[in-house]
Chain A
Amino acid sequence: MAMHRSGIRKQSAVGVSAVTGAAAALYNITVGRTAIIKRIMWQNNCAANSNLSLGQGLAGAFAAVLPPIVTLNGLDGELNEWDIPNVEIQYTAALPAITFESTVAGIIVTIEVEEIG
């Protein structure tokens, strides 16, 4: 039997995005594990259209792991695992979290991840 590579499902707290250049932690990856984003749920509460980015690194050190998501003013939305590339994000001491930012601050976001390891 092939060894499964299934992980365990975890979720972030509800975060409110900061503006580009001020990325903050959304989900802290468990030490020694990797995480794959399986679901993203958001509401644009910015009073303007805004691009949401998920990645690693805080503030100016942010590097996106997915293309930006265009979120429309006043609307909610979600992406499920079949829409999201299987990007596996590794915990390191320097990059311990999945972080997020948006072109206009104020998108309310939760993600669900699958951790492996």
Chain B
Amino acid sequence: MAERLYAAKAGPIDPFALVNENVAIWMKAMWHLYRVMFVEQMPRSQAMVFDQGALAALGNTGDVRLINLDQQTTPPGLIQLRCSPLDDIQVEVKLGRAESRFTAANISARVDRFTEISDPDLHTTEFVVLQDNSVWVNCTNPTAYATAMSRIAFFGFRYTLEDLQTAKKTPAEVKAVVNNVVFVPSGSD
């Protein structure tokens, strides 16, 4: 696979790296080097749908940890996901409770039912969660009605990784260690 920043790739979901390829994962302001040992698909299905329950008009769930999306820690696990809500809710995605994804300086973009209309592949909803981190969501009901359910469906790929025990500040330093590498952000800048 050609060296690239996977998040720049539009279109249908695709594993960002295959077995025996190198990935540099951006987390806590460093690029951490891993090698892929195993890849497996996680199809969109009932088991990958998480319901945060009823929401009052204009209410929100607060931050909820989706513990069933957690990955194994030994060897390091990682999951690459896209998501879309099944009900009329807005979803703020967080990696760990404190770190919102899809943020500008002053706003956090949310995933709602309109996202899939302009982005049918849900490419703009993609994120990556490494071991020891969890997906958190905060669902908001934007309507003046109570909703009985607030479901979010996920799909993607999961990986088992070999930790190369190397972390670098810059892409140039990463490429000095391994030349062919895919850069994968898992966290904001």
Contacts and interface: CB of A to CB of B under 8 A. Distances in A.
A87 B60 CA distance: 31
A7 B58 CA distance: 20
Contact of A8 (B113, B144, B145): B113
Size bin of chain A's contact surface: 10 to 19
B72 interface: no
Give the dominant DSSP class at B's interface.
Answer: loop
Given A8-B88, A10-B88, A96 B144 contact: yes
A117 B144 CA distance: 15
A30 B114 contact: no
B76 interface: no
Contacts of A31: 58, 142-144
Contacts of A30: 88, 142-144
Contacts of A7: 114, 117
Contacts of B117: 4, 6-8
Smallest CB-CB A-B distances: 10 pairs: A28-B144, A30-B143, A8-B113, A6-B117, A30-B142, A4-B117, A31-B142, A3-B118, A4-B118, A28-B145
Interface of A: 3-4, 6-8, 10, 28-33, 96-97, 117
